[in-house]
Amino acid sequence: MATVELTKENFDEVAGADGIVLVDFWAEWCGPCRMFGPIFERASERHDDIVFGKVDTEAEQELAGAFRISSIPTLMAIRDKVVLYAQPGALPEDALEDLISQVRAVDMDEVAARAAESDTN
């Protein structure tokens, strides 16, 4: 599956869907972003059940600001509308695959239970 360009107009719709969404915050001028881009693209081709989205932080400054992106590339992993991971830095291919495995393995019922518990405290 090819990556999806995310904008402030479509971000909520795409990231708010059920399932896993990986978001790469990047910019054309960023060397590490250009190195990570092909890794992200290859992963998108291997995992057709995951949405791979890219946010151009230059074109989408408002969206990048809303997520307080201060360093790029920043990778965000969202599953069932819950942000499970958000860290700056270009991951090597094996680390990205490991992250995808970890996101798949998360017990979302447990995450929901913990969120409900923290809401009552």
Percent of the chain residues topping a pLDDT of 90: 81
CA distance 21 to 95: 17
Token pair for 95: 């680390």
Lowest-confidence segment of 44-53, 70-79, 110-119 by average pLDDT: 110-119
Give me the domains of the chain, ranges plus CATH numbers.
4-120 (3.40.30.10)
Lowest-confidence segment of 22-26, 36-40, 109-113 by average pLDDT: 109-113
State the residue for tokens 């509308």.
Answer: 81
The answer to whether residue 30 is catalytic is: yes
CA distance 51 to 68: 22
The reported pTM is: 0.91
Read off the pLDDT of residues 55-107 as tens digits, 9 standing for 90 and up. Answer: 999 999 999 999 999 999 999 999 998 999 999 999 999 999 999 999 999 99
The answer to whether residue 120 is catalytic is: no
Choosing from 6, 21, 33, 78, the catalytic residue is: 33
